[in-house]
Amino acid sequence: MPSFVPTTARERDEMLRAIGAASVDDLFRDIPAEFRNPQLDVPPGLSELEALRHLRQLAEQNLDLDHHPSFLGAGAYRHFTPSIIGHLVTRGEFLTSYTPYQPEVAQGTLQSMYEWQSLVCELTGMDVSNAAVYDAATGVGEAARMACAVTRRKKVLVAESVNPFYREVLRTYGGGPGIEIQPVHAWWRAKGDKDAPLTRVEDLAQYVDETVACLIIQNPNFLGWLENVDGLAERLAGKGAILVVVTDPACLGLLRPPGAYGAGIVVGEGKWTGGPVDFGGPQVGMFACKSDYVRQLPGRIVGATVDHDGNRGYVLTLATREQHIRREKATSNICTSEALIALCTTIYLCHLGKQGLREVAEQCVQKSHYLADQIAALDGYAVLSGGPYVKELVAKCPRPAAEINRALLERGIVGGFDLGRYSDVLSDCLLLCCTEVTTRQEIDQLAAALKEIG
Amino acid sequence: MPSFVPTTARERDEMLRAIGAASVDDLFRDIPAEFRNPQLDVPPGLSELEALRHLRQLAEQNLDLDHHPSFLGAGAYRHFTPSIIGHLVTRGEFLTSYTPYQPEVAQGTLQSMYEWQSLVCELTGMDVSNAAVYDAATGVGEAARMACAVTRRKKVLVAESVNPFYREVLRTYGGGPGIEIQPVHAWWRAKGDKDAPLTRVEDLAQYVDETVACLIIQNPNFLGWLENVDGLAERLAGKGAILVVVTDPACLGLLRPPGAYGAGIVVGEGKWTGGPVDFGGPQVGMFACKSDYVRQLPGRIVGATVDHDGNRGYVLTLATREQHIRREKATSNICTSEALIALCTTIYLCHLGKQGLREVAEQCVQKSHYLADQIAALDGYAVLSGGPYVKELVAKCPRPAAEINRALLERGIVGGFDLGRYSDVLSDCLLLCCTEVTTRQEIDQLAAALKEIG
Amino acid sequence: MVRAKSEPLIFEKSVPGRRAGVLPPLDVPAKPLEELIPTAEQRTSLRLPEVSELDVVRHFTRLSKRNFSVDGEFYPLGSCTMKYNPRVDENVASMPGFRQLHPLQPEETAQGALRVLYELERLLGEITGLPGVSAQPVAGAHGEFTGILVARAAHEKQGRARHKVLIPDSAHGTNPATAAMVGYEAVTIGHDRRTGELDVEDFKSKLDEDCAAIMMTVPNTLGLFERQIAEICRLAHDVGCYVYCDGANMNAMVGQVRPGDLGVDLLHINLHKTFAVPHGGGGPGGGAICVTQALEPFLPAPVVGRRADGTYFFDHNRPDTIGRVHGFYGNFNAALRSYTYILMHGKEGLPEIGANAVLNANYLLSRLKGHYTPYVDRTCMHEFVLDGRSLREHGLKTLDLAKRLIDYGYHPPTIYFPLIVPEAIMIEPTETESRETLDAFADALIAIAQEARDHPELLHDAPHETPVGRLDEVRAARQPDLRWRADTSNVDGGGPNVEGRV
Amino acid sequence: MVRAKSEPLIFEKSVPGRRAGVLPPLDVPAKPLEELIPTAEQRTSLRLPEVSELDVVRHFTRLSKRNFSVDGEFYPLGSCTMKYNPRVDENVASMPGFRQLHPLQPEETAQGALRVLYELERLLGEITGLPGVSAQPVAGAHGEFTGILVARAAHEKQGRARHKVLIPDSAHGTNPATAAMVGYEAVTIGHDRRTGELDVEDFKSKLDEDCAAIMMTVPNTLGLFERQIAEICRLAHDVGCYVYCDGANMNAMVGQVRPGDLGVDLLHINLHKTFAVPHGGGGPGGGAICVTQALEPFLPAPVVGRRADGTYFFDHNRPDTIGRVHGFYGNFNAALRSYTYILMHGKEGLPEIGANAVLNANYLLSRLKGHYTPYVDRTCMHEFVLDGRSLREHGLKTLDLAKRLIDYGYHPPTIYFPLIVPEAIMIEPTETESRETLDAFADALIAIAQEARDHPELLHDAPHETPVGRLDEVRAARQPDLRWRADTSNVDGGGPNVEGRV
Ligand SMILES: Cc1ncc(COP(=O)(O)O)c(C=O)c1O
Ligand SMILES: Cc1ncc(COP(=O)(O)O)c(C=O)c1O
């Protein structure tokens, strides 16, 4: 087994002598003997070569999506990750530094966080952003807590068209301080000749009264559709409630930013625009809000300032919100966050830039609609239309979605998200995702397979 | 297609205006119009995503040896490459800098080259080393040229037990300035009850007279065997000739260094101790010699010196040997060499260290001898014994080696080097290699397959 | 090397029309965009930077050079366990079979990943003596949150409504913040100034049946083992109060003592400390939570199970679960690193972690005695805390000493934490540092003590060679400038964006 | 960032018994070693460093910080084409299918790699107009050597024994060195001081039937296109003399003009210049050689062929070959990068390389005119050369200017080359640098011109902030200290190993 401990036996003995201890054991004398030296049931150590072999073997037991068409999205999206990202973020200076507590030797991390905050503000159309939270799901939880703190209310409405995993986390987060989480139903209605469900957040406003801290919606929603948000924020504001919007930065390359329709807090998942799907983690939550709420923001915030010579520099700031200063009065307990993933996303957004991110969104739109056309043309299948969509669509299948997925997998295709897991009424529906990495050939292959299966 | 050109159309126009040119074409007016703007028969450009897909497809058309047992050596060896190497050498500071012409901003490269030189000297037992040549093969060519320059003679003896590819390159290198390359036959003799060829370099000394600049041997030789070098250097020295030894740094973890038996020039292939087999390139040639010959060394040499404040620093030195100063009188034309590969090897040797490199060699010995035992136990097969060996052995097969290899490949095993390519008399022999990465299971699998085939 | 010039914001390098990343051409027939996405739903501007790939590479390379890091410098940041992060873990974490794996893929196509999670959880259970493990929490504080929710759920299951969580005054800020997030009142317990340990009398006086949990840190934030821990656990259990252990200091205990054996009920491990996930400038990490068998049913769902046939699955059928705490399964890619790290160490290697972490800390402490004053003069565990008040004689403070260390090429220790120590200097060398490094660092600290007497301005004005000097933090907080703005940015980079207040 | 402290040699960090890399335990029965390898054949000592993995990582990380590089700094090193090296190439080059591929594997198991070589050679043939290509040479000088050997073999095949190679006085040192290596006499041709081009009269006077080749550099090392090149080729061909083009300056011509069309017979391309293989501190590169159809039979063996069925193979059956010039097939892994680079640029992108390289050089030149004196005042190609003699008025030289640029954060240009230019300053910006970078660099050079007048000592004492100042090169050459020695090394790192002379 390798050891990353440099100390040789001889050095250890010399060090013990300097300390004045007889043995290493001696240093542990504060621990009652009965508890010392547990015999661990752990296998013997591995050399680097053995470890790599073992892990490669495990990795290869997974079906990797570089080699199989996949139409899974549902909260984790395959966008292209430019090669530069991995090379830059694994530079030891970024990889092996701590949260930037000593600004003079952490300007690299601090400035890149300031850039992240700026990018998030630009994308979302909000005033301020923090230096990220764990992920969008916990971001939703933090947003609910923050809205309650801002409004001094305890009731949170959440649209059922929000990602169900986010809603589960929201429930967990809300539980503690007794926040009442009220799911508000999404409406299902027929539209045209299709038996199409459509979520109508505009109707949600009717649930809003003076006890409500916020309404949380997702846009595009979990089913991929754009919500009709016109006037929503205003109606909430009329009751003193905040509109919280969960969104997707890739879609924001094209869509109007939540700030433009009155969001008070915006949460987004930043991971997929900057890194691969990674079995779902680490992620990184974008978290932005109106400037009025800045002192209630959870997490780290970086600000620009100057040194004595007037040089621009960056520091962690507004720390009086934070646990290390305010302890039980802190806005959140967040300490270590997801800085390196935020850096990936920061680099991604700079690399893609203004034009590139828009193209990503546009290609998502074109490809998902091309897929929709192929599916619509298949006997027994239909595309449910609940609104405009960017990268995800709901395909109604002639058989249970789970069966379709199984049959697709037999053909080497990873199908879509089985919406039966989301809602009983959708158990014959697949949520299918296309992004710029989906090829026409893969779409055609899927369509052909669906036809065969259907 | 992506462009790595930052200049926008507008900037280009502004720049042209500043230059006072009407168009970019205008800047090329020195080139006769008839030759301008060739229409290239080249496919349209690829985005990064397309390029990666295309190249991954090509990569996957190759059978990679992480997934197949392989017993190929014959000049390219699979040793384990510690993960740190790739991470360190792809740091932009190492990866994207030039040959260290400006020492104040190249101390990183210079010091690591000084460390390489030191490591090479320690390993080979020689006085001085340069900062590497292209590979061992061209190193043999340079050594021949250097020996001729040192001795002012024109005849070079080369043992036939030297890697045939090296000998081919030697022939190419020798051709130019009219160096006479005389291959000296390796003797084939019966030993004991085995029909065993044995190269006897000690007999080679008889070819040496006052016209000979050097004798080039390889140790361990191409067939894996240790040569009997006792007294060889002395006999050469008696005629004023130099002993040139080609060697393998992994073996030198265990074997006495060529300096210990009188080598005047030592060449080694450094690539495999620090990087994967990479389809044979880039490699990096170790090149060391006695201090007397230092002013005839080809290539870059780094030396330690001081700045005005007495700080230790490193510079390229003894440049009067080099082409940029001496032009046609230079010791060699080498300019760009293989610095980054030398850095890989430098890091490898530091990481493995004194104990680690010895263990590598010892495991090679044990595994190759285990393989020998398995083969010796098979009907129809024999292990030819020409001397002690570290990692390669010669297996005599019941059928032509090429046939055996084909049959092995059908079983998913990459066999050995078909020695029929080396010498007609060995067309039923395979050169099989084991290193520390070869597992017992792979060896047993090979033995079982050979049995089945044989 | 050369003092880095100021680096503009990437926005300030933007040139209209410049590009780095491009996509493959669209390979499906393009429809008019406005037919697919109504124009009203489209954004009209997007002020992302427009830069070339070299711009990006050079910008972030230059930024990186403005950081200290473990790879470059000794980084004895107390409580943070800045040990060497093996690079092999990065190679493992970049294997396509792990990276290109969607979290919602059918389980049979993700068996390798599920096995990693399953085995990591078993290994952590074995190392801590707390067999119920979930790797879902993504950071220490997240683990605390999860753990206290588990405690609350267990109380509720037993029909107990409790309102208080006891927290030592030396605790990290995340402890009280966590208690509050879960809806508990945080009640502070004092410490014994002489031993540096929990004031057991104070504890006894505050412990009652309204206490849901006590959050102990073991070893505590003074780097001292709580010798009464087993007794504390017994007392707590007597009134049905759970003992939560903040495992940020687990590094001292690895292979040496198991918190579960001491009576602890719940504990998180900061995988980014003890098990070498690189800190990344502030995450991603991992905050795996380990609990007793009795508390196992309350762990966040889903948990990873193993069937009799050896296959792995996500068990969503967890009626008592506190629910999800993460969008998927936590920081899988970080867990992968810790899994590799633990497997590489193995049975013989794990105890070496704790042993050498403690050896190094005590050695460094022994070198500093006589020059600096330990807050408590005892054998320490993996770290120790100095009382920096002696600097005041020279008109200096701990901050000055910290900044002066930068001039010597060292990252400063943790300072002003724990809050109970005046002018605290908290030093954690970790087991991966060599004696020479410890000696050189001790020499620097000793030299600085001398400088404080002879040339206090050297400390006061430090650091001297960083790209920026000490920054005006008051101004940063009073006039928050938290983002670049298109309108007010000054491209010359000469000063902050003072107009950009929020 | 912080001025790096001196970094000891890795040997000086060695501690007996310390280790980083370990192997898996031996999995075959171990025999007594001396039975397998006689004791007399074993070495008795091996003074490799004994260090930990963190020691290694920190050492080489710190060393790296002592380098300037394209990723960090503008690096206008003339003749070296220090352009941006796309990181995607690194990812391609690390694909296991390429890395874990043994050069002697059966060809049918290496079809992807063979195709890369085959297609790269075809692409280079198309770009240069010289269809016979071998990617076997591993550097520019190696390509020259190969090319001149090809020329010689062709002469020999035609029964011609020739003895001279003509070389312009502006040529790179590798040209005459190559000619000598191949056994030719190098005959120098002058240049026209007014045009900066080859002195055609001198050329004509030296050209005869004893000339095996003329080695032209196009554009030449003054960055100027040789307008007479077609005529020169014609004259050379008339006497059976081959025209070799040193392709180090190919970057100016990519997609703009094909050397083969101009009449060139042989040319090497420095793949590490024009086609973006990272320079790596001095290699690995690639020196692919491109020749006319007539010279193709003489290329180094093996060459890569393509069968009618679309499979690829190594063609060893090359009776006229000059032989091998590399142990295997050259720097395959570097060739892979260039292949990717060329494919990404494609038909539309390739001409942008030449166009923008030339645009940038001329723009920078236009900014400097009036402040510095071009050796020849003409439209340049991808680079230009200034005459630095005006510095002498202030007691300064080009070297001082170069070192002062370091203080401004720039890598100096190539200096004192070409040899024909007094105090030469040779600047090549490449196409991947932005106008802002060029402007800032021009501003720095202009400021330095002013400093030379007002504060010459700023130049004379430069650089000021590097880890070492100007080094004593005379001492280095007179008292060569070329390696660490166990006995004489001084661990404090305070000075060089002066005893270690050789
Ligand atoms: C004692 C202690 N507890 C808790 C934490 C919080 O852990 P994390 O930063 O992983 O959320 C820390 C981190 O610094 C700590 O030192
Ligand atoms: C004009 C010229 N020719 C030849 C060479 C030699 O090329 P290499 O360094 O690749 O051997 C160079 C390299 O600097 C050069 O600039």
* Ligand closest to the CA atom of residue C285: 1
**ipTM exceeding 0.95, yes/no:** yes
Tens-binned pLDDT, residue by residue, of chain B (454 aa): 567 999 999 999 999 999 999 999 999 999 999 999 999 999 999 999 999 999 999 999 999 999 999 999 999 999 999 999 999 999 999 999 999 999 999 999 999 999 999 999 999 999 999 999 999 999 999 999 999 999 999 999 999 899 999 999 999 998 777 899 998 876 553 344 344 445 566 667 678 899 999 999 999 999 999 988 888 999 999 999 999 999 999 999 999 999 999 999 999 999 999 999 999 999 999 999 999 999 999 999 999 999 999 999 999 999 887 888 888 888 899 999 999 999 999 999 999 999 999 999 999 999 999 999 999 999 999 998 788 999 999 999 999 999 999 999 999 999 999 999 988 888 999 999 999 999 999 999 999 999 999 8
Closest residue in B to D410 (Cα) is: B105
Confidence at A323, pLDDT banded by 50, 70, 90: confident
B4 vs C2, C16, C52: nearest CB:
C52
Q: Which chain D residues are closer than 8 Å to C67 by Cβ?
A: 1
Measured by CA distance, the residue closest to atom 12 of ligand 2 is D248
Q: What is the per-residue pLDDT across C217-258, written as a single tens digit (0 to 9) for each? A: 999 999 999 999 999 999 999 999 999 999 999 999 999 999
Query: Percentage of chain A surpassing pLDDT 70?
Result: 95
Kindly state if the Cβ of D224 falls inside 6 Å of ligand 2. no
Q: What is the per-residue pLDDT across C126-161, written as a single tens digit (0 to 9) for each? A: 999 999 999 999 999 999 999 999 999 999 999 999
SS3 content of chain C, % helix, strand, coil (to 5): 40, 10, 50
**What tokens appear for B320 in the block?**
């009067």
Q: What is the per-residue pLDDT across C191-216, written as a single tens digit (0 to 9) for each? A: 999 999 999 999 999 999 999 999 99
Q: What is the pLDDT of residue B176?
A: 73
Whether the Cβ atoms of residue C362 and residue A20 lie closer than 8 Å to each other: no
Listed residue (C356, B259, B303) closest to A28, CA to CA: C356
Listed residue (B406, B392, B384) closest to B453, CA to CA: B406
- Tell me the mean pLDDT in the region C430-448: 98
- Tell me the mean pLDDT in the region A312-317: 96
Q: What is the per-residue pLDDT across D405-415, written as a single tens digit (0 to 9) for each? A: 999 999 999 99
> Does D489 score more than 50 pLDDT?
no
- Tell me the mean pLDDT in the region D337-346: 98
Q: What is the pLDDT of residue D2?
A: 37
Q: What is the pLDDT of residue C216?
A: 98
Best substitution site from C270, C289, C326, C428 to test ligand 1's pocket, by max atoms within 8 Å of Cβ?
Answer: C270
Kindly state if the Cβ of D140 falls inside 6 Å of ligand 2. yes
Whether the Cβ atoms of residue C165 and residue C159 lie closer than 8 Å to each other: no
In angstroms, the separation between the Cα of residue A315 and the nearest Cα of chain B is: 27
Kindly state if the Cβ of D426 falls inside 6 Å of ligand 2. no
Angle between helices D174-181 and D140-157 (to 10 degrees): 40
Kindly state if the Cβ of B335 falls inside 6 Å of ligand 2. yes
Q: What is the per-residue pLDDT across D58-74, written as a single tens digit (0 to 9) for each? A: 999 999 999 999 999 99
> Would the CB atoms of B48 and A91 count as touching at under 8 Å?
no
Kindly state if the Cβ of B98 falls inside 6 Å of ligand 2. no
CA distance A242 to A289: 10
> Would the CB atoms of B56 and A49 count as touching at under 8 Å?
no
> Does D363 score more than 90 pLDDT?
yes
Q: What is the pLDDT of residue A186?
A: 61
> Does D496 score more than 80 pLDDT?
no
Residues paired with C290 in a beta bridge: C133, C267
Kindly give the number of the ligand 2 atom that is closest to the alpha carbon of B334.
Answer: 11
Among A201-215, B238-252, C279-293, the range scoring the smallest mean pLDDT is A201-215
Whether the Cβ atoms of residue D437 and residue B263 lie closer than 8 Å to each other: no
SS3 D306: strand
Pocket lined around ligand 1, Cβ cut-off 6 Å: A 335-336; C 79-80, 139-141, 172, 174, 217, 221, 246, 248, 270, 285, 287
Mutation pick from A3, A8, A52, A60 vs chain B, by most beta carbons of B within 10 Å, is: A52
In angstroms, the separation between the Cα of residue A340 and the nearest Cα of chain D is: 19
In angstroms, the separation between the Cα of residue B3 and the nearest Cα of chain A is: 12
A310 interfaces chain D, CB cutoff of 8 Å: no
Q: What is the pLDDT of residue B199?
A: 57
Q: What is the per-residue pLDDT across A146-175, written as a single tens digit (0 to 9) for each? A: 999 999 999 999 998 999 999 999 999 987
In angstroms, the separation between the Cα of residue A4 and the nearest Cα of chain D is: 7
Kindly state if the Cβ of D270 falls inside 6 Å of ligand 2. yes
Of all helices (H) and strands (E), which one includes residue A394?
A: strand A392-396
> Does D4 score more than 60 pLDDT?
no
> Does A272 score more than 60 pLDDT?
yes
For Cα atoms C147, C152, C153, give the angle at the middle one, nearest 5 degrees: 95
Q: Which chains touch A (3 or more CB pairs under 8 A)?
A: B, C, D
Exposed (0-12), middle (13-18) or buried (19+): which is D195, by Cβ within 10 Å?
middle
A105 interfaces chain D, CB cutoff of 8 Å: yes
Cα C88 from chain centroid (whole Å): 21
In angstroms, the separation between the Cα of residue A214 and the nearest Cα of chain B is: 41
- Tell me the mean pLDDT in the region C42-68: 97
CA distance C21 to A345: 13
Kindly give the number of the ligand 2 atom that is closest to the alpha carbon of D273.
Answer: 10
> Does D499 score more than 50 pLDDT?
no
Residues 6+ apart with CB under 8 A from C435: A6, A7, A11, A14, A15, C363
> Would the CB atoms of B48 and C22 count as touching at under 8 Å?
yes
Residues paired with B289 in a beta bridge: B128, B265
> Would the CB atoms of A80 and B49 count as touching at under 8 Å?
yes
Best substitution site from C174, C244, C251 to test ligand 1's pocket, by max atoms within 8 Å of Cβ?
Answer: C174
User: Helices marked H in C243-331 — which ranges?
Assistant: 259-262
Confidence at D497, pLDDT banded by 50, 70, 90: very low
What is the residue whose two structure tokens read 């997702």? Answer: A218
Phi/psi of residue A70, nearest 5 degrees: -140, 140
**How many whole angstroms from C136 Cα to the centroid of ligand 2?**
56
3-state SS, A345-389, equals HHHHHHHHHHHHHHHHHHHHHHHHHHHHHHHHCCCCCEEECCCCE
Kindly state if the Cβ of D79 falls inside 6 Å of ligand 2. yes
What is the residue whose two structure tokens read 């460094």? Answer: C364
- Between positions 419 and 478 of D, the ones with CB within 8 A of A are none
Q: What is the pLDDT of residue A177?
A: 74
Bond preceding residue C413 cis, omega within 30 of 0: no
SS3 C189: strand
Q: Which chain A residues are closer than 8 Å to D54 by Cβ?
A: 4, 6
Q: Which chains touch B (3 or more CB pairs under 8 A)?
A: A, C, D
B2 interfaces chain C, CB cutoff of 8 Å: yes
Higher pLDDT, D420 or A196: D420
**What tokens appear for D350 in the block?**
């390739």
